Amino acid sequence: MLCRIISEIETALRSHGDQWATRFTPFWHYRRQENNIFSLASALFILRELEPRLSPEHQHKAAEIARLITREYPRFQNKDGRMTYNFYPTRPSRHFPNGYIMQHLDHFRLPDDIDDTALITFTRQASPKEVQALKDLTEGFAEDLPSGKRVYSTWYGKNMPKEQDVCALLNLLYLFFAFELPLTRTDRDTISFLAEKAGEALSRPFEIARHYATPALILYHYSRFMSRFASPLDHTKPLILASLYKALEQEKVFMNRLLMESALLKLGEKRPPLDLSRVTFNGFHTFIGAPFAPFAHPLLKKWSEKSAYQIFWRSDIHHKALLAEYLVLSSLNS
């Protein structure tokens, strides 16, 4: 099955052209095909991490997938050549493609962000010098919180309100830890912030991770980082495990369950295999947008938390990479 999934990812990359993802809002029956880079970079991130565990045949296919994905990256780099990246193409700028309204309004033009930047920098296999330079740049956009902590912010833009999304922060730290960069005060404060928020994955997912906002995605990101690196976040492992088991008791969406099973396997838990005879991506998404969230008005902020006013993103390429990851992890667990 793993061979088939990896082949399907390669085929999809060749056949989808410039429309490899979908954004949608079920409440308004809104659906548009598009080409955000997050979907591809996230899929490649997973395959890069799986590569040492793949057979030579699968490694060859993964290398071709990497070539197809990384060739898209330059179109999403900062328009002025800075080493940051955007969710949407920047050369030329094309935010919310195929839409009727948002693509024509500058208000909805997204600044570059730490999430896409970290995933792309990691998967394009940047040099240590480049990653250190990026880290120095990112430190300049960190925010001093009322608690006294200095924590990285999601956005590189000057006019975008500061925010902290724990999943984006975990992806950023994953990059810095992978390159073994010296920890700064901002790194330590960010890790402390993540430790404080770890217990809120089930009760306040939107507040701690606006762009992921489901317990499954949040706990998966914590587990992904913690299973790879020793850090001051390690003491939260019992809490993450307890949250995963509790969330699994109620979760109905197949892919959310798969994500949490992968998270448990990453953390060393022994798990019975999932029934993969009826894999479905229904009800699943990997990214959320809340267009009203940046507004200061209390009513608009309240609307931003309601699913009717949120935009969801999905991509079968990304979903299949997550499925491939589970297949590899579960094979090691047997």
CATH code (residue 308): 1.50.10
How would you class 103 by CB atoms within 10 Å of its CB: exposed for 0-12, middle for 13-18, buried for 19 or more?
A: middle
Average pLDDT over residues 262-286: 96
Say what the pLDDT of residue 260 is.
98
String of b and e for 114-149 (b: at least 16 CB within 10 Å)? bbbbbbbbbbbebeeeebeebbeebeebbeeeeeeb
- Give the residue numbers spanning the domain of 15: 2-333
Q: Is the omega angle on the peptide bond into residue 298 within 30 degrees of 0, that is, cis?
A: no
Say what the pLDDT of residue 293 is.
59
Q: pLDDT at residue 304 above 60? A: no
Cα 291 to Cα 64, 102, 211: the distances in Å are: 36, 10, 11
Lowest mean pLDDT among 175-189, 250-264, 280-294: 280-294
Q: pLDDT at residue 286 above 50? A: yes
Average pLDDT over residues 305-321: 86
Three-state DSSP class for 21?
strand
Tokens for 306, please give them.
């309601």
Average pLDDT over residues 30-55: 95
Size of the chain, expressed as the number of residues it contains: 334
Tokens for 307, please give them.
């699913």
Say what the pLDDT of residue 104 is.
39
Query: What amino acid occupies position 127?
Result: S
Average pLDDT over residues 85-99: 77
Report the share of the chain in percent with pLDDT over 70: 88
Tokens for 321, please give them.
């990479």
Say what the pLDDT of residue 105 is.
43
The 10s digit of each residue's pLDDT in 115-171 is 999 999 999 999 999 999 999 999 999 999 999 999 999 999 777 778 899 999 999
Alpha-carbon span 204 to 178, nearest angstrom = 29
Give me the phi and psi of 233, to 5 degrees please: -85, -10
Q: pLDDT at residue 91 above 90? A: no
Average pLDDT over residues 260-279: 96
Number of domains forming the structure of the chain: 1
Residue 216 is inside which H or E element, if any? helix 215-228
Closest CA relative to residue 256, chosen from 322, 333, 325, 321 = 322
Average pLDDT over residues 205-217: 94
Cα-Cα-Cα-Cα torsion 327, 54, 172, 227, nearest 10 degrees, comes to 60
**Chain-centre distance for alpha carbon 94:** 21
Q: pLDDT at residue 309 above 70? A: no
Mean of per-residue pLDDT scores for the chain: 91
| Residue 36 and residue 72 in contact, taking contact as beta carbons nearer than 8 Å | no
The 10s digit of each residue's pLDDT in 214-233 is 999 999 999 999 999 999 99
Say what the pLDDT of residue 306 is.
67
Q: pLDDT at residue 294 above 90? A: no
